[in-house]
Amino acid sequence: MKKTLFSAAAFALLTLGNSAVFAQSAKATIGAESNLVISKHIYGQFAEHLGRGIYDGFWVDPKMPVKKQDRYRLDIVEALKKIKIPNLRWPGGCFADEYHWRDGIGVRTSRPKMVNTNWGGVTEDNSFGTHEFLELCRLLGCEPYISGNVGSGTVQEMSNWVEYLNFDGKSPLTDLRAKNGHGKPYNVSFWGVGNESWGCGGNMTPEYYSDEYKRYAIFAKDYNNAKLKKIATGPAGDNYNWTEVVMKNVKKDIWGIALHYYTLPTGSWTGSKGSATNFNEDAYFNTMRNALKMEEYVTKHSAIMDKYDPQKNIALVVDEWGVWTDSEPGTNPGFLYQQNSLRDALVAASTLNIFNNHAERVKMANLAQAINVLQALILTNKEKLVFTPTYHIFDMYKVHQDAKLLPVKIDVPEYEFNGNKIPAVNVSASKDASGKIHLTIVNIDNHKSVDFKADLGNVAWNTVTGQILTGTNVTNINTFTNPTNIRLVAFNDAKKDGSSVSVKLPAHSVVSLELK
């Protein structure tokens, strides 16, 4: 692919509306290398049985004229391998607590059908089940993350699922696994004990769920080479009491606690959530303000966890996050299919910067969702495929995976609209195993460029290269007829200035720099 060089001058007039562009200044100090590692699992993805995420997404009709292995769509597999997704969460979401795993094993044509009552009321044939999911993870080179059924399932059901997948000895369940084509254990480590148990997963109180968690967890056994990383249902947004109760009552046998938070343009679950593409600056500003609340939620939930786990042994797992808008007109509202604009990319980049900077507690996260659902990485239409702006953010940010966190102190201007203000710039930095330093910088101001200067102190470096993701308007999207409207291009408006790197950040842009 031909690379295009974009300078700040080329973007000087890229704004929403006719407002003039004024440069602002931002300063940062990059601290010394820490012992904190930005876990690669922060860059995880989510694939629920929802809309066209699994069926007609990963798993397609045998007659579809695309490159396939079995029914796996290989252009999707290759695209996700390129951005190095580290884990994939399945089968839900709300679907997990009505899913019974035995219905999804054995001869595909003999599997019982089921109604997906949570998402569209469609009937599924269970042709994509446990073995199909784990083969998908093998193709992707990622770790599986399975959500167990606590809402409508039983302790024995989850215990048997763990044994079926992980036991390396002789038992009726391992005989069944071998009969179904896999003699060796899968050794699945990541297990969610229920999902959103405060809501679609059972409408439980945190006290009741805590007891249920302990009951389920004790029967989900560790087997050879498969020590389980059990993840408890955590809160939604600012439900701090849920975190308090679970952390207080669950003293052991817990690897992580899940946090869910979706960015709603309108900020409301009732009525319209807002359009994915047809929005004005008021909606843009509100969306970015709501997205940045993730910093507050991660900080406050982490503080509660610190009371009961000062050694930070328990992970905060943000296993559902992203932008949730109204479904696209003309599509099944239960399928949650939405377009994906430059605004979504700015949300994704800002959120990942937040997670990186909280690497001491955030050890895993999952964007909702990978294909054709909510803030998807990839959209498909029959044999056509398009990478969304969000996909390109994950491609840009993959350099942070398992790198050492470099702490950043920043002094940034504010983006002001209608008398409200939010920070205009956010950043995270890391140093990889080869010694290269990476900075990812977001300017969410819709009109003003920013002169950004980061001092690296005594860190030695000589050259800087970069990439940028931006466009003429925050409503810009990629379509099946124009799939490269928003894409990563080379960025050459960064330079060495003594011990500092100086950068001209265009309005509504994301820049990644590599210093070596």
- Determine the Cα–Cα distance for residues 260 and 317; give it in Å rounded to an integer: 9
Q: What is d(CA 243, CA 162) in angstroms, rounded to the nearest whole number? A: 26
CA–CA distance, 137 with 114 (Å, rounded to integer): 24
Amino acid at 112: P
Neighbours of 329 (CB within 10 A): 8
Handedness of CA 489, 493, 495, 497 (dihedral sign): negative
Q: Work out the number of other CB atoms within 10 angstroms of the CB of residue 178.
A: 12
Token readout for 70 is 């079995």
196 tagged catalytic: yes
Closest CA to 402 of 41, 158, 4: 41
SS (HEC) of 312-324: CCCEEEEEEEEEC
Angle at 447 (CA atoms; ends 444, 453), nearest 5 degrees: 60
Q: 43 vs 77, 144, 402, CA distance in Å?
A: 16, 13, 10
Q: Which two tokens stand for residue 46?
A: 């989510």
Q: Label residue 145 left, alpha or beta by phi (over 0 means left) and psi (-120 to 50 means alpha).
A: beta
135 in active site:
no
Q: How far is the C-alpha of 493 from the C-alpha of 470, rounded, in Å?
A: 14
DSSP lists the bridge partners of residue 45 as 88, 367
Catalytic residue among 320, 328, 414, 514: 320
Q: List CB contacts of 34: < 8 A, sequence separation 6 or more.
A: 404, 405, 406, 407
Amino acid identity of 331?
T
The catalytically annotated residue of 48, 163, 196, 295 is 196
Q: Do 279 and 475 contact (CB within 8 A), yes or no?
A: yes
Which positions are catalytic?
196, 320
